[in-house]
């Protein structure tokens, strides 16, 4: 079984912008590309896990999302970073339109996207990490059995909390990755 680092997208890798879907709105958080490059040198599977309620609300389409994601992944690859998989939830239980108004299993804080990635990549969740900026990220990661790191970028955990505490709190993705690599080097996890 493999170990993974699951990472939320908006507010962790890229700047939190209201429902960003246009390539011209893509802005990486300083240090996030370096963090992904450092992870790329390890045996961790790198998975992006992102709620995309803008699709559910009709602000943009899955096609728009896919084009934005392809552009982001191309920029990351060109910079020497690696992302092994991207999982997204296009649903919203209350504010979705049409087929997207669903109380699904994939929307964080539920663990559906994490579970799917674990099955697809042969990931041992108890040896894995989740990095996010919202309480829903932390709850999803911990509910799946991962250690959870809250970063202070994006929402920085200032959303309406759910009572779930992260295992660690760091300034940003770069410091979260350094923490994970340090813990791995120490044989802690």
Residues that are catalytic = 8, 10
Say if CB 4 and CB 126 are below 8 A apart: no
| Residues in Cβ contact with 71 at an 8 Å cutoff, skipping those fewer than 6 apart | 23, 26
Q: How many CB atoms lie within 10 A of CB 129?
A: 25
CA distance 42 to 45: 8
If we measure between CA atoms, which residue out of 31, 14, 129 comes closest to residue 73? 14
Residue pair 101/93 in contact by the 8 Å Cβ criterion: yes
Helices within the chain (DSSP H only): 32-40, 53-56, 62-78, 112-121, 135-144, 173-185
Q: Cβ distance 91 to 106 under 8 Å?
A: yes
142 vs 135: CA distance, rounded Å: 11
């Amino acid at each position: 079984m493999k170990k993974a680092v699951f990472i939320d997208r908006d507010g962790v890798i890229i700047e939190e912008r209201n429902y960003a879907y246009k390539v011209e709105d893509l802005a990486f958080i300083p240090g996030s590309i370096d963090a992904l490059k450092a992870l790329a040198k390890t045996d961790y599977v790198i998975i992006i896990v992102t709620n995309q309620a803008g699709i559910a609300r009709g602000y943009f389409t899955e096609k728009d999302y896919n084009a934005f994601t392809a552009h982001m992944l191309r920029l990351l690859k060109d910079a020497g970073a690696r992302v092994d998989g991207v999982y997204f939830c296009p649903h919203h239980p209350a504010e979705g339109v049409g087929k997207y108004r669903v109380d699904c299993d994939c929307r964080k804080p539920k663990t559906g996207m994490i579970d799917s990635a674990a099955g697809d990549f042969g990931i041992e969740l108890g040896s894995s990490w989740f990095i996010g900026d919202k309480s829903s990220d932390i709850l999803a990661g911990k509910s799946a059995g991962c250690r959870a790191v809250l970063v202070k970028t994006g929402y920085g955990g200032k959303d309406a909390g759910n009572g779930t505490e992260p295992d660690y709190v760091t300034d940003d993705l770069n410091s979260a990755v350094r923490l994970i690599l340090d813990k791995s080097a120490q044989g802690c996890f």
